[in-house]
Structure 1
Amino acid sequence: MADLARRLDTPLLYLQLGEVPVVVASSPEAAREITKTHDLSFANRPWSPSVRVLVAGGDAQGIMFARYGALWRQVRKICVLELLSARRVRLCRHVREEEARRLVAAIAAEAAQGKATVDVGERISAAMTDLVVRLVIGDRFDRPEEFLQVFKEGKKLATGKVSLGDLFPSSWIARLLSGNMRRAEANHRKMFELMDRAIKQHQERRGNVEEEEDMVDVLLRLQNQDDDLDEPLTMGTIKSFLRDLFNGGSETAVIEWVMAQLMRNPRVMQKAQAELRESLQGRQKVTEDDLNNLRYLKLVIKETLRLNNAVPLLLPRECRETCKIMGYDVPKGTTVFINAWAIGRDPKYWVDAEEFIPERFESSAVDFNGTDFEFIPFGAGRRMCPGMALGLASHELMLATLLYHFDWELPAGISPSEMDMTEEMGVTMTSRMKNGLHLRPIVRVPLKTAT
């Protein structure tokens, strides 16, 4: 789509995907009009048949897919002030540090067993999933393994191909032929049953001041403060909150892409590791305090987000009312995507746009906070990702830990220029490496305090 937009020299593309009218914006100017000038007109999320499964027909709207209105404003406020606030990010740093150390221990154990390579993406995904489960439902749930299994099955379904039923939402035959959708419905029911159990256990243990407050506790506390809420916090909303926190918080594609870009660019890898090891001076573990000194690693992450954003088209928006974008009429009900992948590679705004050069951000004021529309990996406007701070904190720590404790080699016979960087996108619109990232870890700094 990026190539087509450039050939036609147009900021907007109109596509008819089955029964679904779609507009794709591929320029910073178009992105600005959608997320700032006309932000309110594009504040909805489209509800495809797959999304309707997730929101239980509207009874379980979370932060990701809630329709714009009083409920969405309330759940957004809860995210910003409670669940994903700067204070809560600081409070849960010890959990992130523990899971980062466990990741190192797991990879070191595989290396000690003589395995030729490690599936880096699989290892990171397992670590991040464990982290999110601890942050959201804590260590008190009595069926964590079953929960993890159901959650992982759901992630696999979400990374599959686009459903035929989503392209032809009015056709019951298309929905009938969409086997993935039926499996998603079954997985959704099982996930909500386990959430019911977790919530019940939290309710029974409430009032124990010695236990740390996890995200389920926060939501139950707010539910009991009903007089302070504009909209009632139903159990359906609480469970959808939890589902969205699991799905968003466990996304690891960015970490995998950073590792892939570092392997493809040995100069950058050497510079990033040198910064780390010089800063830590042989200490046994990386802590979040160390991240403040890792300026180059932050540039590496920004450059990866520019080239390999985990959600290349961002989450879709729906036009709530007919309006004009860049002089074109966009009808009410149109699904709108912003091609952040194309914008991040546009040579009009980026010198050597296809090259991986973290140093381009050294003297640049461009940031991903949603105000520089040539660089919006987390979106912009009302529907910008509310979990950016927590996600960045987790990603930076995991990456710093991997680069500090290990040196990394490609499989025998593969050079950096021969790496397979093919992307694959699933129904959740997330992009990951199609064939995974398999590397050989060499322990450089042993972790004696791993848990």
Structure 2
Amino acid sequence: MDMMASTFVKADNTLFGSLFFLSTFISLFLLFIISKTKASKSIENLPPSPPQLPIIGNLHQVGNNPIVSTAILARQYGPLISLRLGQQLLVVASSPEAAMGILKTQDRFLSSRPVPAAFNHKKYAPHSLVWAAECNQTWKNLRTLCRTHLFSVKALESHSRLRAEKVSWMVDFLRRKQGQVIDVEDVVFTTLYNTLSSIVFGKDMLQFDEGDGTTRDPHKESVRKIIEYGSRVKDFGMFYPRLDRFDLHGTKKGSLKEFDRLFGPYWDCLIEEIRAVVNSSTWSSDQAQCFLDLLLENEFTNYQIYQFVLELFIAGSNTTTSAIVWAMTELLRHNEVLSKLDEELQKEIKSDQINVSQLSELTYLQSCIKETYRLHPSVPLLLPRVANETCEVMNYTIPKNAMVFVNIWAMGRDPELWREPLRYMPKRFTESKLDFKGQDFKFIPFGSGRRICAGMPSGIKSVEYILATLVREFSWTLPNGDDPSKLDLENKMGVAMRRVNPLKLIFKQK
């Protein structure tokens, strides 16, 4: 009886799914048929495009992994292509020349941002830095605040003690867990998140469960759910603006629920308590103990603080975690590289405590990090831009309101730019002058132009410090004695490009 009931449930679900798909398709078709808005005139001299289907355009060719599909299309149609996704025109660059045209030559016309549904909430969105629709004065002020008080050389030096404390906590935890299987992403994410929360709020925001090595924390779960909502590739509202209000996938509703859950009464009370101190007659800037003091001194509202802090935590923790996990994956797969890196660290760092400022001078460590970013960029399709004016790139027209992407994943694997591009070979960077500053457009893991990642200096320091510490302090093995050379490299698209299968290792102190 139970089996029969299960069969009927499955049949009902299948029927429901088919009817939903059919009704959605019919709705889209009618939307185009009955719309009173005339179709826009065809735009001349667009970048080359594959053939398009009615209504959906090239949506079927993009699929769920746009970094790969657009790279394949670029090989066939050229380094700058155009795609029609529903009603949205998309332009994708996959070469240094095309990237320079977008990020440098026409940067002032291509600096606007489309705001994803997951982050497009009326009470939060106006205070965004990452997803600011325009490079307006509010955006400029936030950038200046970050550069001065979070990411400048002076700021990074002032935060070095906190960074060292959190990394020391990570080492102590892994020592206690020797012989147990550890989810590397979880450990690294928690370490980075608590580093940032200590800088901003003066306290850790995540707790680690000593029982099984996993975090049981509602705060962390909300952050991860927001990241998941923001990682959804297909968004009907983006491709068909008339459908945006229906929130067909529940992205807006779901992410707003997590926003409100994340920043509930507890944080309101905490901020109000500190605000009362900052607004008192006895307050002076010299008393500031964390970044929140500075935000309140600049009269930031609670919503401004929440949006700004959330973006800082997601960008600073999620993307940096991704880079560290991918670096460890490649080092495990290439034992000769891991041995050479360990040799450099043991030779150059004599003291028990790693001096963070010393790491930027370690040639092979820097080469391993750069090679990781080449093969596994944290944001493989640089965050999208929108043309605020019609302009030209590589003699092609990019019309106003077109969405623009730069596929740095494709450039990092281009055989015309790199010898044996699919091989992990840090030595290619040993004598290279390529850096992270966004000036050489074949290697721009943090972007370029006015929208270059503001947190790049902090992110690089974190990758250097945590990776060097894990290599120097521990040996790593896969569970069940699995062969590291066969470790998979499957990735999934998201706010940061992550492994499909979590990297789980056994740590042993050297």
Q: Identify the TM-score tier after normalising by the shorter chain.
A: 0.7 to 0.9
Q: Does 1:197 align with 2:269?
A: yes
Partner residue in 2 for 1:179: 250
Distance 2:361 2:245 in 1: 57
Q: How has the CA–CA distance of structure 1 residues 211 and 249 changed in structure 2, closer, same or farther, with 3 Å as cutoff? A: farther
Query: Which structure 2 residues correspond to residues 17-416 of structure 1 after superposition, within 5 A?
Result: 17-53=85-121, 56=123, 58-111=125-178, 114-115=179-180, 117-139=181-203, 147-159=219-231, 162-171=234-243, 174-175=246-247, 177-193=248-264, 195-206=267-278, 207=283, 213-223=289-299, 234-251=301-318, 252-281=321-350, 283-416=351-484
Tell me how far apart the structure 2 counterparts of residues 209 and 328 of structure 1 sit (CA, whole Å): 52
| C-alpha distance in 2 between matches for 1:51 and 1:209 | 32
- Structure number with bigger Rg: 2
- Asked whether the equivalents of residues 285 and 401 of structure 1 are also in contact (C-alpha less than 8 Å), the reply is no
> Residue 170 of structure 1: SS of its match in structure 2?
helix
Using the alignment, how far apart are the partners of 1:287 and 1:242 within structure 2?
28
Letter in 2 for 1:126: T
Contact 2:194 2:204 in 1 (8 A): no
Q: Unpaired runs of 5+ in structure 1?
A: 224-232, 445-451
Distance in 1 (alpha carbons) for counterparts of 2:195 and 2:207: 16
> For residues 109 and 89 of structure 2, what CA distance do their matches in structure 1 show?
16
Give secondary structure in 1 for the equivalent of 2:508.
strand
In the other structure, the counterpart of 2:500 is 434
Q: TM-score, normalised by structure 2?
A: 0.78
SS, match of residue 363 in structure 1: coil
Q: Quote the offset at 1:208 in angstroms.
A: 8.0
* C-alpha separation in 2, matches of 1:200 and 1:141: 18
Query: What residue identity is the alignment partner of 1:60?
Result: H
TM-score w.r.t. the length of structure 1 is 0.87
Displacement of 1:368 after TM fit? 1.7
Q: Could you tell me how far 1:43 is from its partner in structure 2?
A: 0.9
CA distance in structure 2 between the aligned counterparts of 1:94 and 1:68, rounded to whole angstroms = 34
Deviation at 1:321, TM superposition (A): 0.8
Query: Distance between the aligned counterparts of 2:91 and 2:370, measured in 1?
Result: 27
Amino acid at match of 1:399: L
| One-letter amino acid of the structure 2 residue matched with residue 397 of structure 1 | Y
After TM superposition, the structure 1 stretch with the greater mean CA deviation from structure 2, 294-303 or 76-85, is 76-85
Task: Please give the alpha-carbon distance, in whole angstroms, between the structure 2 residues aligned to 1:143 and 1:346.
Answer: 42
Shift of 1:354: 1.3
| Contact 1:28–1:373 (CA under 8 A) maintained in structure 2 | yes
Q: For 1:401 and 1:361, how far apart are their aligned partners in 2?
A: 21
1:410-445 residue CA offsets vs partner (Å, 9 max, x unmatched): 23353233211101012x3x200011111221111x
Structure 2 counterpart SS, 1:15: strand
Higher RCO, 1 vs 2 (CA within 8 Å, ≥6 residues apart): 1
1:106 CA displacement: 1.5
Read off the aligned partner of 1:74 and give its amino acid letter. Answer: N
For residue 442 of structure 1, what is the amino acid of its counterpart?
A: K
Q: Following the alignment from structure 1 to structure 2, what is the Cα–Cα distance between the partners of residues 216 and 191?
A: 17
Q: Deviations over 1:298-335 (max 9, x none)?
A: 11001101110000001111110111111211111111
How far has the Cα of 1:89 moved from its partner?
Answer: 1.0
Post-superposition shift, 1:156?
4.2
Higher mean C-alpha displacement, 413-422 vs 257-266: 413-422
Cα shift at 1:15: 2.0
Q: Are the equivalent residues in 1 in contact too, given 2:370–2:426 (CA < 8 A)? A: yes
Q: Which moved more, 1:239-248 or 1:386-395?
A: 239-248
**40-49 or 208-217: bigger deviation:** 208-217
1:97/1:287 contact within 8 Å kept: no
Deviations 1:129-187 (A, max 9, x none): 11111111112989996644533443344445544444434215751x31343220111
Q: For 2:191, what is the secondary structure of its paired residue?
A: helix
- Contact 2:115-2:131 at 8 Å conserved across structures: no
Please name the residue that 2:31 is paired with. none
Q: Structure 2: any 5+ residue segments left out of the alignment?
A: 1-68, 209-216
Change (3 A) 1:106 1:17: farther
Mean Cα deviation higher: 101-110 or 261-270: 101-110
Matched residues in 2 for 1:294 and 1:288: separation?
11
Matched AA of 2:342: Q
Q: Using a 3 Å threshold, how does the CA distance of structure 1 residues 141 and 311 change in structure 2: closer, same or farther?
A: closer
| 1:327-355 Cα shifts (integer Å, max 9, x gaps) | 21111111111001111221222111111
Per the TM alignment, residue 5 of structure 1 is displaced from its structure 2 partner at its CA by 3.8
1:263-306 deviation digits (Å, cap 9, x = unpaired): 1111110011111112234x433231442443211110011011
- Measured against aligned partners, the alpha-carbon deviations of 1:15-38 in whole angstroms (never above 9, x if no partner) come to 223333211110100110111110
| SS of aligned partner of 1:349 | coil
What is the aligned length? 427
Cα deviation code 1:98-120 (max 9, x no counterpart):
11111111222222xx42x2211
- Distance in 1, Cα, partners of 2:260 & 2:290: 23
Q: Distance in 1 between matches of 2:470 and 2:130?
A: 31
Maintained 8 Å contact 1:378/1:384: yes
Q: Secondary structure at the match of 1:24?
A: strand
Aligned-partner SS, 2:200:
helix
SS at match of 1:13: strand
Change (3 A) 1:49 1:151: closer
Greater displacement, 374-383 / 239-248 = 239-248
